[in-house]
Amino acid sequence: MQVNSHNESELDLCGRAVETDGMTIQAPAGRENQKQRTRTAIIDAAREIIRGSAEVTMPAVAKAALVSEATAYRYFPDLVSLLREAIDGTFPSPAEALAPVEESDDPVVRIAFATERLLRHVQMYQGAVRAVISGSIVRSDSAAIRPGHRFGLIDHALAPLDATLGRRDPAALRQLKQDLAVIVSAEALFTLTDLCGLSPDDAVASAMHTARTITAAAVASS
């Protein structure tokens, strides 16, 4: 109920025409706003449930968003897509996430920070992330593409290497990024906590260590 109360003012904007599209002289009036509000309400509801660390189901999200389950499926092909978008919205951009370490050009320092950022965020939205991985891993068919938070983060953290290692040995840089894609990941976090039995903090620390080691080794061999 309070989910979309702050969006209601947008309802007034109905009827204005958009000629910027060139072709489309049709006025995408309040209908578009309505759809936008519905979509937002669903994502907000999903995010709400995610935070509560409760089990996320489509019926629960629909009920919380005050829409029917059918409508939820009209906006998102499946639960995983919904959760993916809901999680995406909580993520800062790579630049924002790595701002505190922007002054440093040491890739080892930067990648360690990126690892901690990513894993702590994953831990916070554990339930949803687990659900997304669970759903994505079973079929590599369409729409199974997971968001590449890690890639943006890794690229940004390793930016200082573009001019050095990247120019000297592009293949080595590519390999480093693949190494890190495995380590700086939700899967790594869950492996360390679920299988190795580490506490969340220890798991994050362990992954940071691994990321540092790999990065340092790549830099050193140049």
Binding site for a copy of itself (CB under 8 A): 130-131, 133-138, 140, 144, 146, 148, 151, 175, 178-179, 181-183, 185, 187-188, 190-196, 198, 206-207, 209-210, 213-214, 216-218
If one asks whether residue 4 binds DNA (CB under 7 A), the answer comes out as no
What are the b/e assignments for 64-77, b being 16+ CB within 10 Å?
bbebeeeebeebbe
DSSP label at 87?
A: H
- Binding to DNA (CB under 7 A): which residues in 14-43? 14-15, 26-27, 29-31, 34-35, 37-38
From the centroid of its chain, how far is CA 24?
A: 33
In angstroms, what is the minimal distance from the CB of 35 to DNA?
Answer: 5
Smallest distance from a copy of itself to CB 40, Å? 27
Residue 58 makes contact with DNA by CB under 7 A:
yes
Radius of gyration over every alpha carbon of the chain, rounded to an integer in angstroms = 21
Least separation in angstroms between CB 38 and DNA: 3
Smaller CB separation from a copy of itself, 65 or 186: 186
Q: How many residues bind DNA (CB under 7 A)?
A: 30
Structural contact between residues 90 and 125, judged by C-beta atoms closer than 8 angstroms: yes
Closest CA to 184 of 125, 112, 131: 112
We find the least distance from the C-beta atom of residue 46 to a copy of itself, in angstroms, to be 16
Determine if residue 2 is left, alpha or beta; phi over 0 gives left, psi from -120 to 50 gives alpha, anything else beta.
Answer: alpha
Contacts of 212 (CB under 8 A, 6+ apart): 108, 111, 112
Joined together, the tokens standing for residue 187 give 């899967």
Q: Which does 94 bind (CB under 5 to 8 A by kind): a copy of itself, DNA, none?
A: none
Distance CA 198, CA 1 (A): 40
Give the nearest distance from C-beta 189 to a copy of itself in angstroms: 9
Q: With binding defined as CB under 7 A, does residue 73 bind DNA? A: yes
Residues in touch with DNA (CB under 7 A): 14-15, 26-27, 29-31, 34-35, 37-38, 56-60, 66-71, 73-75, 77-80, 135
